[in-house]
Homo-oligomer: A and B are copies of this chain.
Amino acid sequence: MSTSKAPGPKRTAKRPETYHHGDLERVLVATATAMLEREGADNLSLREVARRADVSHNAPYRHFADRDALLASVAAEGFRALARSMTDARRAARPLRGVGKAYVLFALERPRLFGLMFGPGLKRGAYPDLAAAMDEVFAYLAQPFTDTIESADARAAMIAAWSIVHGLAHLLIDGRLGPRLLAGTQDVGGLIDDVLDVAGRGLGPTRE
């Protein structure tokens, strides 16, 4: 409406507004991201996303090949957000500890997004944008170990470090740590610190 009588004959200018948004794509990703945390990935229907974005149930197919492609975009955004959190955390007094903690806290703050990002649902090969965003995070994780990544020991150390934050994140968000284990735990931050401390020193009681 704003440009209904623009001067140029074919320069319809930007934002015709005759049809919906100029950036339905972004709106769909944002809507799906918001819905994901509330409903869970299983209950996230493409039709419902379209409904909340005020377009027909079919409009998303202009921007995404299918439901998985939309979820892949959501996951890619998630990886970019995680990368930002980790970047910020590098400024902490103990950078490596900070990054590990940021990883676990990200999972706790956005559990379903974390589940989508790392779950088996999306085949990264099919979505280059997602693969790129993932690789950035992975490079971040590997960075402290890259000097010696050629050594098998360093690789094992890197995998162990990643495993522990990844496993702790999963156990926490899936509620697998029962009340007995969490007894006396005031805040999660302290628990994460304790677990990372003991992991750094070596899993004492596990040695035989």
A34 contacts the other chain (CB 8 A): no
A14 contacts the other chain (CB 8 A): no
Q: How many copies does the complex hold?
A: 2
A163–B168 CB distance below 8 A = yes
Q: For A160, give its contact among B138, B162, B170, B203 (CB under 8 Å).
A: B203
A157–B96 CB distance below 8 A = no
Q: How large is the interface on A (under 10, 10 to 19, 20 to 34, 35 or more residues)?
A: 35 or more
Residue interface mask A140-155, B partner, CB < 8 A = 1: 0010110011001111
- Ranked nearest first, the 6 interchain pairs of A and B with the lowest CB-CB distance are A167-B167, A202-B202, A163-B167, A166-B167, A156-B194, A163-B168
Closest to A154 in B: B205
Q: Which residues of A contact B (CB under 8 A)?
A: 40, 42, 94-97, 100, 111-112, 115, 118-121, 138, 142, 144-145, 148-149, 152-171, 173-174, 176-178, 180-181, 183-184, 191, 194-208
Closest to A123 in B: B175
Q: Given A174-B120, A201-B202, A203-B161 in contact, is the A195-B156 Cβ separation under 8 Å?
A: yes
22 A-B residue contacts at CB 8 Å?
Answer: A42-B121, A95-B208, A100-B206, A115-B120, A120-B174, A138-B176, A148-B205, A152-B184, A155-B181, A156-B191, A157-B203, A157-B206, A160-B164, A162-B171, A163-B163, A163-B165, A163-B167, A163-B171, A164-B164, A166-B170, A167-B168, A199-B206
Note all chain B residues with C-beta closer than 8 A to A178: 138
Rounded to whole angstroms, the CA-CA distance of A198 and B159 in the bound complex is 10
